[in-house]
């Protein structure tokens, strides 16, 4: 699956993933109004509005970006209707030729991780009848429980040609609290990175492994070190834009050939219409604003890597 993602990154000349994290405050008023009139101020209405919002975004950017990354928490908070909107979004994105990275950050003991891997990457076998629960292409995975919590995900990668991105160094301000602590003289995240390389060894797909890593754009120095430490690991880079990461921070996440990393922006793309720079589009023009924001992000990345 990583090969397919890289092919699309090259074809679209954009190492960019658009984060579909529809906070209610991002959803344009025009879409909310329509849904509230139909369903009242209910989770069902929000789910309808979110899905309409995502469809508009996907239609506007599907030719520009290789992948989208829905953050499942933003849907889970609206209960079952929210998760239905999540599932419909995954399906719609795939119909439009996009690769879907499920930002689920799951991770548990072996048998439970196996169930999560089935949910997001695999197929469920009901006495010989198979179906796909959520059917993403990639999922993000939390490594705190160690190898036996990650292995079911790598098994799913190998069985279904899927991929994962394991949290190594996250983009948030307090990520260092545990991740940066020194173990044998080196930060914990480097030890996690070494395990990611080890876990990925049996999941090669072209020049890179289907087992990737998450490293935040907000920590460019660590990114440079980790890029070298994980030579065949693709890096998913969150934290660009609204969280503070800038184009010039990204250079060392990439290899010299311009590959090796894919940068996520969520708010900066999907809520671009709320920024002064794109205010002219108004809330009805949210999708065009998102398209412009992707083009600007592509330019920023091109100039810096």
Question: C-alpha 188: how far from its chain's center?
Answer: 23
Q: Report the distance separating Cα 15 and Cα 141, nearest Å.
A: 21
Nearer CB in complex with a copy of itself: 179/203:
179
Cα-trace Rg, the chain? 19
Least distance between a copy of itself and beta carbon 250 (Å): 19
Q: Which is nearer to a copy of itself, 129 or 257 (CB)?
A: 129
We find the least distance from the C-beta atom of residue 255 to a copy of itself, in angstroms, to be: 26
Is 4 part of the annotated catalytic residue set? no
What minimum distance in Å lies between the beta carbon of 270 and a copy of itself?
Answer: 14
Task: Considering the complex, state which of residue 59 and residue 148 has its C-beta at the smaller distance from a copy of itself.
Answer: 148
Neighbours of 204 (CB within 10 A): 14
Q: Which two tokens stand for residue 233?
A: 């690991």
Burial 80-110 (b: 16+ CB within 10 A, else e): ebbbbbbbbbbebbeeeebbbbbbbbbbbee
Which of 105, 151, 195, 251 is catalytic? The answer is 105
Nearest-angstrom CA–CA distance, 23 and 270? 10
Q: Of 4 and 191, which has the nearer Cβ to a copy of itself?
A: 191
Which residues in 160-207 belong to E strands, given as ranges?
163-169, 182-183, 186-187, 204-205
CB of 13 to a copy of itself, least distance (A): 29
Residues recognised as catalytic:
105
């Amino acid at each position: 699956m990583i090969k397919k993602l890289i092919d699309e990154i090259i074809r679209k000349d954009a190492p960019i993933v658009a984060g579909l994290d529809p906070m209610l405050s991002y959803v344009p008023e025009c879409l909310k109004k329509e849904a509230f009139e139909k369903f009242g101020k209910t989770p069902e209405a929000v789910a309808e509005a979110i899905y309409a919002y995502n469809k508009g975004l996907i239609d506007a950017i599907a030719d520009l970006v290789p992948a989208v990354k829905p953050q499942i928490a933003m849907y889970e908070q609206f209960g079952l209707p929210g998760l239905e909107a999540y599932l419909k979004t995954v399906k719609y994105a795939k119909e439009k030729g996009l690769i879907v990275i499920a930002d689920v950050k799951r991770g548990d003991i072996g048998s439970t991780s196996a169930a999560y891997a089935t949910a997001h990457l695999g197929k469920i076998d009901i006495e010989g009848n198979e179906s796909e629960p959520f059917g993403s292409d990639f999922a993000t995975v939390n490594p705190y429980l160690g190898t036996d919590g990650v292995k079911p995900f790598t098994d799913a990668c190998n069985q279904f040609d899927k991929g994962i991105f394991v949290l190594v160094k996250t983009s948030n301000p307090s990520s260092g609290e545990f991740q940066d602590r020194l173990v044998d003289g080196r930060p914990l995240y480097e030890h996690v990175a070494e395990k990611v390389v080890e876990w990925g060894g049996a999941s090669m797909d072209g020049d890179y492994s289907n087992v990737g890593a998450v490293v935040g754009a907000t920590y460019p120095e660590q990114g440079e070190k980790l890029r070298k430490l994980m030579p065949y690991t693709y890096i998913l880079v969150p934290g660009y834009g609204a969280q503070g990461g800038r184009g010039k921070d990204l250079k060392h996440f990439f290899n010299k050939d311009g590959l090796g990393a894919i940068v996520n922006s969520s708010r900066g793309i999907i809520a671009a219409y709320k920024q002064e720079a794109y205010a002219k589009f108004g809330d009805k023009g949210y999708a065009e604003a998102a398209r412009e924001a992707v083009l600007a992000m592509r330019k920023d990345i091109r100039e810096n890597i």
